Amino acid sequence: MTIELKNVLELADAALAADYTRVRRAANALARDLAKGGEDAVANELKALVRKRGVPLKASGYVETLPVDSKSRLPLLEEQTWPDTPIFLNESAWRTFNDFIADAKRIDDLSAKGLASRLGLLLSGPPGTGKSLLAGHIAAQLSRPLYVVRLDSVISSLLGDTAKNIRSVFDFVPRKDAVLFLDEMDAVAKLRDDRHELGELKRVVNTVIQSLDTLDPSSIVIGATNHSHLLDPAIWRRFPYKIELGIPEEGVRADLWRHFLFEDQDDDGRAGLLATVSEGLSGADIETVSLTARRHALHERRDLDLGTVVSALLELRSGRVATPQRQPLDPEQKRQLAVTLKEKYAIAGADTARILGVSRQAIYGYLKQQDGEAQNG
């Protein structure tokens, strides 16, 4: 078996220097050698070890020297750990996600054949649709550390420092075999306001473009924006892969409810019901509503009350701020909800009964009462 001995030395050296990124890279190189030599079991164990242990090294107080803004002394980027929650995406987003991962894994091969695009991925979509989470999943899938740059913090109050900051961020990351995540890309576009002269905006945009252009073809850059149309077209073009993270579709909403509210247990079709009435809500909305309802059930030592969940999400749908109320719905609230679900959302009485945890007869009673009032009124 051929083990590159320098990888062993590199591993020892990096470990003693507590350089987490180098440890991981050397260990992965070693694992590749081992796998080539037929030692698959050890190779896999080593790779699993690196994945598992990477985070505590950082938590143990080891801090890398990150580039900082010269005025505020704040770091321009920070390393984030890989997410431990799953992500649920619409079909077309999954396709691009998988293409991107596949291309990134074979980038050397693709380059040799002249088929590589730069590994730039632009994520766009409304707040709370999973852009940051998705960037984390990409880093995890590729076993690379994730460096997050908030462009709004890179934009310095000191005129002229912004371009310098951008350069030091880009200089730092390629050395690290990392995923560079440029969050809040809109911040660059917002420089168009009166606080900055147009010259400054141009300089910043040019620096971003130049920095992107000088990156090694195997470097991975992910950008996120709420409004892709605000981005400078020249920057936009430098991200050949694009994922539009829209508001989740019905099937995805059901997955989100199943995961966040029902903890992936048997939900007896109720996740699907909630999906029907939660159109327009983001993943983050569904998570917040779910966790609040579960906390209430825990505090009050009772079962989940889906009535409070549905009431909250109907409020959210009409643009109001809402979380589930702490107490279960009272009979009058249940009656009103039953009427709304039937009249506005055409939900069958049997389904409403399941959501409210009452008998079908009770639902028919509520609706009859409503009809009576409508006729009288």
Ligand X SMILES: Nc1ncnc2c1ncn2[C@@H]1O[C@H](COP(=O)(O)OP(=O)(O)OP(=O)(O)O)[C@@H](O)[C@H]1O
Binding residues for ligand X, per CB under 6 A? 85, 87-89, 125, 127-133, 226, 283-284, 287
Q: Is 282 in the site for Mg ion (CB under 5 A)?
A: no
- Of 25 and 131, CB closest to Mg ion: 131
Q: What's the length of the chain?
A: 377
Interface pattern 114-143 for Mg ion (x via CB under 5 A): -----------------xx-----------
Q: Which two tokens stand for residue 64?
A: 């890398």
| φ, ψ dihedrals at 232, nearest 5° | -60, 130
User: Under the criterion CB under 5 A, does residue 156 sit at the interface with Mg ion?
Assistant: no
Token pair belonging to 312: 């909250």
- Check if the beta carbon of residue 223 is closer than 8 Å to that of residue 239: yes
By beta carbon distance, the residue nearest Mg ion is 132
Report, in Å, the least distance between residue 136 CB and ligand X.
Answer: 8
Asked whether the beta carbons of 224 and 73 are under 8 A apart, the reply is no
Shortest distance, CB of residue 245 to Mg ion, whole angstroms? 10
Name the 3-class secondary structure at 299. Answer: helix
Binding residues for Mg ion, rule CB under 5 A, total 2
For residues 20, 21, 26, 30, the Cα torsion angle rounded to the nearest 10 degrees is 90
312 contact choice in ligand X, Mg ion, none (CB below 5 to 8 Å, kind-dependent): none
Q: Does 168 bind Mg ion (CB under 5 A)?
A: no
Q: How far is the CB of 256 from ligand X (least distance, A)?
A: 6
State how far the Cα of 57 lies from the Cα of 211, in Å rounded to an integer. 30
Q: How far is the CB of 252 from Mg ion (least distance, A)?
A: 18
Asked if 347 and 276 touch (Cβ cutoff 8 Å), the reply is yes
Which of residues 141 and 340 has its CB atom nearest to ligand X in the complex?
A: 141
Q: Which two tokens stand for residue 368?
A: 């009859």
Alpha helices in 113-174 (DSSP H): 131-141, 151-154, 161-172
Which CB sits closer to Mg ion, 125 or 324?
Answer: 125
Q: How far is the CB of 291 from ligand X (least distance, A)?
A: 9
Instruction: List residues binding Mg ion (CB under 5 A).
Output: 131-132
